[in-house]
Amino acid sequence: MLPTSARQLLVHAGETPAAAKRRPGFEIVFRRRPGGDGLRQHTIAETVSCTGTALYSGDPVHLTLSPAPAGSGVVFVRSDRNDRPEILAHPGVVQTSGPGMTLSDVGASVGAVEHLFAALFGLGIDNLRVEVDGPELPVMDGSAAPFVFLLRSAGILAQRAPRPVLRIRRPIEVRDGARFARIEPARSFRVEYAVEFEHPAIRRQEYRVDGFDSALFEREISAARSFGFLRDVSSLWNTGKVRGGSLDNTVVLDDTGVVNRDGLRWSDEFVRHKVLDLFGDLALLGVAIQGRIRVERGGQALHRRLTAAIAATPRAWRIGAPDAGAPRGIALSPAPA
């Protein structure tokens, strides 16, 4: 969790978004075009719901997303329990083991939240109340695109409070052999990501984000799906550990290619999904980020370590107000081979 000094910059408005919409200085923003107001915090304009299937249990799940006041962050509510426990999302409540991202606090947990967080990061949504009637979010199609659609359907509300920016001043790096994740100073948000698998459909893939824009995230990254290898996925299916898993929500590879009848959405969908997962982990910091991130052969465990290292190393960054004059690129493109 970010230190108090950082979180103090988050303004607690103390009023509901519905009331806020009737006050001067608030507006509903549908950020469908490049650009948008990145200087203020955002929530959604209306409550929206959906029903889907949990990846691990296979049970039906009902999910409700509601507006939240500025400065409140993302709060999960277990609506299936009588005590309705609430979990405030931050790096300190992330379980360090197991697949996917699970938040655990106040005697409750909620898992499979990474794709919702990626959608929040990509659309610049800071404050949200999430009610779920089980221990997992629905898997949807294995990407963030259905959550983007849900959030877009609700409308995006710009709030009065400024959006704090975490500016990297010194490099922070975590390593695991040849694998590493590093963030260093830069004038804008940049990502350089590489994956490498000994598989003919993947091999080495690289992706680069130069600056950031919600419309480009939605078009180029949000629909990249989770993937796995048939030898591993079959074992999980047969042992009942992913009862909700199917070819409708996972890209599955056998020894030579992709099993899914419809194939890939992009030839480099694998690295795009890794970038999507990275965004989901970064969203836990609760601030905009100004820095260059490099990841080599990454994964969620490495992302979690980097996010935790950022939160635990305040001397390496400073929190400031948004700078309207700072360069904000909108180029998002694959890196050259």
Q: Token pair for residue 322?
A: 């948004």
Nearest 5°: the CA angle 284, 299, 305 is 50
pLDDT at 33: 30
pLDDT (0 to 100) of residue 22: 39
Adjacent-strand bridge partners of 172: 183
Question: For residues 110 and 87, is the Cβ–Cβ distance under 8 A?
Answer: yes
SS3 content of the chain, % helix, strand, coil (to 5): 25, 30, 45
Instruction: Please give the chain's pLDDT, 337 residues, in tens.
Output: 443 333 332 222 233 334 433 333 333 333 333 234 568 999 999 999 999 999 999 999 999 999 999 999 999 999 999 999 999 999 999 987 777 899 999 999 999 999 999 999 999 999 999 999 999 999 999 999 999 999 999 999 999 999 999 999 999 999 999 999 999 999 999 999 999 999 999 999 999 999 878 998 999 999 999 999 998 888 887 788 889 999 999 999 999 999 999 999 999 999 999 999 999 999 999 999 999 999 999 999 999 999 999 999 999 999 987 764 443 322 233 333 3
| Residue 95: domain span | 4-333
CA distance 12 to 276: 29
CA gap 21, 291 in Å, rounded: 33
The tally of domains found in the chain comes to 1
Q: Are 47 and 157 in contact (CB under 8 A)?
A: no
Compute φ and ψ for 153, nearest 5 degrees: -65, -35
Q: What pLDDT is recorded for position 38? A: 65
Locate 335 and state its tokens.
Answer: 């890196």
CA distance 234 to 264: 20
End-to-end CA distance of the chain: 37
Output the pLDDT for position 30: 31
**Residue 214, both tokens:** 């919600």
Secondary structure element (H or E) that encloses residue 288, with its range: strand 288-290
CA 9/CA 17 separation, integer angstroms: 19
pLDDT in tens, 34-48: 234 568 999 999 999
CATH for 200: 3.30.1700.10
Cβ neighbour number for residue 286 with a 10 Å cutoff? 25
